[in-house]
């Protein structure tokens, strides 16, 4: 009996969603990311983390709940990361050489799969408010 009730409920959901406007599409753009770990060495900030401009590309499926509300799951591949900068000062034991100073620059690049799921509410025509989660 429980299986029959579940089947009827699923058929009603599919019938209701078939009557509303469900759409899908592709999505691409740029993002800005920056890591913020606390790395200190003898009380001095060891690395300066700077931002990185990346990109994302993927797709979405818009599932209508009502005329003004929908759920919008997405699948995105994002390039994120950071750039680090550290000043280095090397003093030689040999007193005939001058000490050296310089900078060490590193770049961190990550390809991340993001799965945002948003509830989308139309406030006025073609203007939406989206709220949701984004596991990645």
pLDDT tens per residue across all 136 residues of the chain: 555 544 444 444 444 444 557 899 999 999 998 887 767 777 777 777 888 899 999 999 999 998 899 999 999 999 988 888 777 666 666 666 666 677 777 888 889 999 999 999 999 988 999 999 988 7
Domain count, the chain: 1
In a domain, 100, yes or no: yes
Phi-psi region of 62 (alpha: psi -120 to 50; beta: other; left: phi over 0): beta
Residue 16 lies in a domain: no
Return the number of other C-beta atoms located less than 10 Å from residue 118's C-beta.
19
Q: Domain limits at 94?
A: 22-133
DSSP character at residue 10: H
- Does a structural domain hold residue 34? yes
- Say how many CA atoms lie within 13 Å of 19 toward its Cβ: 8
Does 6 reside within a domain?
A: no
Using a 10 angstrom Cβ sphere, with 0-12 exposed, 13-18 middle and 19 or more buried, the burial of residue 131 is exposed
**What's the whole-model pTM score?**
0.63
């Amino acid at each position: 009996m429980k299986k029959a009730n579940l089947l009827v409920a699923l058929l009603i959901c599919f019938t209701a969603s078939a009557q509303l406007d469900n759409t899908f599409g592709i999505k691409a753009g740029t993002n800005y990311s920056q890591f913020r770990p606390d790395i200190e060495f003898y009380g001095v900030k060891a690395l300066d983390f700077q931002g990185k401009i990346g990109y994302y590309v993927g797709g979405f499926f818009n599932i209508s709940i009502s005329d003004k509300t929908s759920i919008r799951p997405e699948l995105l591949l994002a390039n994120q990361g950071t750039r680090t900068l550290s000043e280095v000062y090397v003093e030689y034991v040999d007193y005939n050489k001058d000490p050296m100073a310089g900078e060490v620059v590193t770049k961190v690049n990550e390809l991340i799969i993001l799965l945002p799921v948003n509830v989308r509410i139309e406030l006025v025509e073609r203007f939406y408010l989206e709220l949701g989660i984004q596991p990645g």
